[in-house]
Structure 1
Amino acid sequence: MSLTAHIPSHRKPRRSAPKSALRAGVAGGVLSTIAVAGAAGPAQAEPVTQTIEMPTLTSGLSTAVAASAEATQQVALDLETQAQEDAAATSAAKAATKAKAEAVRKAEAKAKAEAAAKAKAEAALRASRSEARTTLSTSSTSSTSGSTAVASYSSSATGSAASVVAFVQAQVGDAYVSGGTGPNSWDCSGLVQAAFRTVGVDLPRVSQAQSTAGTQVSLSNLQPGDILYWGGAGSAYHVGVYVGGGQFVGAQNPSTGVVLRPLSYDPPSGAVRVL
């Protein structure tokens, strides 16, 4: 056995063959590529003379954008128009409500005014009648044709005649209106006809016919409820009702209205008795 057999060797270990071959191949490939590139460099370069046109995309896009903008504008216009129509409708509704309220207010005011006027007229009429009755009662008491008051000579009438007398006396103070048949205005024949209608007697409407509607009686033999007439029988121009005590009630004329007067005030031409 050699004495140096156990002495370690100081030689570097050999590289493995595969790794060395790999490194040599890579280096060779790189150098070959450089060499080929250098050889083909400037001599093979040629200027590009062909222009490739890309398809135009902007025309269709512009049309779409324009259409979208137009649609947006139309929508905005439609919204604005709708808003204006809504505002106009709201304004019209408010105006209509206000007008209706004003009309109702005016109607109520008119109704109140008419009611007040009617009440005033009725109060004036009642006062007028009361005054007329007071005056007539006084005049009948002091009259030279008889000192019996209306209340006392009215009581002498009975039955239907008393009803006729009471009716005409109640109208004293009413207005005279040509063609009037009541209830608050009369002409002479309208008053007489209405008085007799209360007891179921239907007299003709005009004074000429009323002057021949019953039995002719003497003015010296009058009874309450007899019809007095002025003018000829059948051609009378005025009528009234005898109420007793030398008094009569008649719708005389527009200036006096319905009055109670003594026979001496305007002596009648004749009389007829219906009841």
Structure 2
Amino acid sequence: MPHTAHIPSHRKPRRRSASTMALRAGVAGGVLSTIAVAGAAGPANAEPVTETIEMPTINPAGLAKTFEQTAQAQQQVAFDLELQVQENAAATKAQKDATKAKAEAVRKSEAEKAEAKKRAEAQERASRTAERTQLASVGSKSSSSSSNSSTAQSSNQSSQQASGSVGTVIAFLRAQVGDAYVMGATGPNSWDCSSLVRAAFRQVNIELPRVSQDQSTAGRQVGTSNLQVGDILYWGAAGSAYHTGVYIGDGKYLDAANPSKGVVIQDLSGYPATGAVRVL
């Protein structure tokens, strides 16, 4: 045995600091705790996990391009919507303008028609006024000529004066053909049946009653089988007649018939009169 076998070492034992010992104790404790938790969480024979999950690789350039394309698509949609709104507004305005223009055209057309009708009516009234003035002048001359005839021709004078008066009455009535029928009207461009008859006989200074009932008894009853030009025809019973007119010859009479016909010449056979009176 070597002579140094029992010689104790002269190196002093190293003293470990308290902090180093505490650190080692903490590490050991942590490892033991981890092992204990793993053992409690899984079966003793659990296989180790061998599958790995790969995280997707992010390409910054591609992501930026995708964002740009999305922004462009959204901008295009917004542009299309705005364009559609503008087109709809333009179409609505065009429709309103067309409707307004059509209404204005119709209004102008109606106004022109109304003005043309007024001019035609004014011309017709002027023509009738001139014709009536001429007829009145002829009747006045005829009456003056008859009154200056000699006493020796008195019988002929009466006949000629009656004939001239009848002619004046009939001429006046014919000048009113085409005038309107209006109940209660008394001329000069609209009449009812009795006002027209009354106005005609006023041309020869014969004053008749205003209404049909009284006109049907104003003269001598002559019936309808022996009519003469100028006889007053009536429909309904004498004293309660509802319509009058004047016989103008050839089986015809002239009257203010009704609102749809106005003043017309009609065939007596189509609407036979009840009776007649003679005042001339």
TM-score of the pair, normalised by structure 1: 0.46
Q: Which has the larger radius of gyration?
A: 1
Q: Greater RCO between the two (CA within 8 Å, min separation 6)?
A: 1
TM-score of the pair, normalised by structure 2: 0.45
